[in-house]
A and B are shown apart, each in its own frame.
Chain A
Amino acid sequence: MCPTPSHRWTLSAPLAALALMLLTWAAPAASAQLQITDAATGVPLSEAVVEIYAPSSAGATRAAAGGYQVVQRHATFIPHVLLIPVGAEVSFPNRDTTRHQVYSFSPAHPFSLDLYLQETPPPERFDHAGVVVLGCNIHDAMEAFIVVSDAPYRTLTGDDGRAVFDLPPGQHRLRVWHPRLEDTHLEWWEGEIVADQSREVALTLAASLPPVPAPSALQQRFQRALEQTQAN
């Protein structure tokens, strides 16, 4: 499963290294373009995580050391999908008037933060790569994902479903994850990519469980009642 991070240049002859460097300089536009779509409809997919296990070079994804946040607002985790490097810390500030709990039973990082309001608990540090599915035990509809990645090249797609990388030459291992790929949310689509290739990845979205409905009529009534008592 895991890539070999020690897979580095092993060329000993300096001349060969120089020649290779020249070659890569000569073709700097070796950018790989990926288009992630839904296989059923052909629609571009946002919130897809693309990982490429290529030897780290100038174009590798630079990671912010910290400052990652998953905010709780209107009984929703924001963002829905957060991509972080291994070892990053994430805090979970609550911007709602109700308390929230945060838990995950995912093998990569099982944890649980007891119900809290304004006093944000200390950030969680994610030391293992994998998908961490977040939930709140008093709001079944709340769901979010932290994808902890150890891939040198990684990105989260936007609405256009596109991902662009500056890769070192050669063929590399490619992984794609999407929240609707399947129901356990822990599996990846696996493939390969060549440095200057433009390819489309059509994902079969097999997640069949119906989403937990957003705030129900009952919850909305409680919300209104709460707001009224606060106004008085």
Chain B
Amino acid sequence: MSFRRRLLLIMLAVMAVAQLVAAIATLGTIHRDVMQKGGRELEVGLGVMRQLLDERGKQLRDSVGILTSDFGFKSAIASQDQGTLASVLANHGERVGADMVLLAAPDGTIVASSHHAPGTPMPFPRLWRQVRQAGEATGVVLQDQRPYQFVMLPVRAPNLIGWVGMGFLLDTPLADEMARLTRLQVSFLVSGAEQTSGAPGDALDDAAGDISGGMKGYVAGALAQVPPTAVSALRADLARGEYLHHSGVDSRLDALVLASPLMISKSASDTGRGQVYAVVEHPRADLLAVFQALGWRLAAIFAVTLALTALVAAFSARSMSRP
């Protein structure tokens, strides 16, 4: 092998190694950066989503407030006649587009409800505690394993004559609207509510029950399109506390995932009742699109530099090898 060829090969090898190391380092950093940025976007998106839900809660509270201050409504409530009560609740519930309406006595006993039997105690203990403290409450509740944004307000005539609660389902249209605003994939997921046998937070049980039962738990939004097995795997992960504080990659969904529980103040007595999660996703393909484009560009640069180096090396080797 001539000195010229050897010099050429050594220079090319050094060049290639340097380029490769640089490329790997760059791509690694960029991958990390892309994932971090994706995670930040998810955090911002989830924050915006929670804010939107809060705003919606306030808006619903105001709408329900106008209904409960309606004199016709109050006089119908004061009539204490079951037929009148049911029809006025249905009529006024329809005016604001509620999916669940209830009327409770001042002590919390159900007087009339679209979902509960008269005479039963208040079904939402957390919300009821909040109502007793603040005089009204807005929050997310589970009824028949479906999540509702719920508003409970006093009916004053002008003394307290009862409590009106109206629930608004967290459904796919709402998830889609939030998806449009946050530019993320948005879903509402109910977890752990179908377990009647107790064992709260038993992830394996939960997942197994879901696989055998097919679409058992409630899902609305982007995740409704996903195979049930992937959703139940996500439920199991959420039950273990994953994706709640930091975003993570779910390989079944092939996406970066972040979630947040929507039911507040989980006390020991409430854990068996299930949880509602807001889930935001960023598909990995979308995130890595930039990364892949950059990879190709780097490969092109690598090839061009290698060719240039080869040329320069060949020339310089020729001039050097001459006496």
A residues with a Cβ closer than 8 A to B are 103-106, 110, 112, 133-135, 137, 140, 142-143, 183-186, 208-210, 212
Contacts and interface: CB of A to CB of B under 8 A. Distances in A.
B158 A140 contact: yes
Which of A105, A140, A143, A184 has its CB near the most chain B CB atoms (within 10 A)?
A105
Contacts of A140: 69, 156, 158
Contacts of B106: 183-184
Given A105-B161, A140-B69, A212 B156 contact: yes
Contacts of A135: 156-158
Interface string B149-184: 000001011111100000000000000000000000
Given A208-B132, A209-B135, A210-B135, A183 B158 contact: no
Interface stretch (B71-79, B219-227, B272-280, B315-323): B71-79
A184 B159 contact: yes
Given A137-B71, A183-B106, A184-B106, A209 B161 contact: no
Which of under 10, 10 to 19, 20 to 34, or 35 or more describes the interface residues of B?
10 to 19
18 contacts: A103-B71, A106-B159, A110-B78, A112-B75, A133-B158, A133-B159, A137-B74, A142-B158, A143-B158, A183-B106, A183-B154, A183-B159, A183-B160, A184-B161, A209-B156, A209-B160, A212-B156, A212-B158
Contacts of B133: 208
Can you list the 6 inter-chain pairs with the closest CB atoms, starting with the nearest? A105-B78, A183-B160, A135-B158, A185-B159, A133-B159, A137-B71
Main secondary structure of the interface of B (DSSP, over half): mixed
Which of A112, A137, A140 has its CB near the most chain B CB atoms (within 10 A)?
A137
Which of A110, A143, A209, A210 has its CB near the most chain B CB atoms (within 10 A)?
A209
Given A137-B71, A210-B135, A184 B160 contact: yes
Contacts of B160: 183-185, 209
A226 B312 CA distance: 93
B159 A186 contact: yes
A209 B153 CA distance: 10
B157 A105 contact: yes
A135 B157 CA distance: 7
Nearest to A145: B159
B154 A105 contact: no
Nearest to B154: A209
A64 B154 CA distance: 37
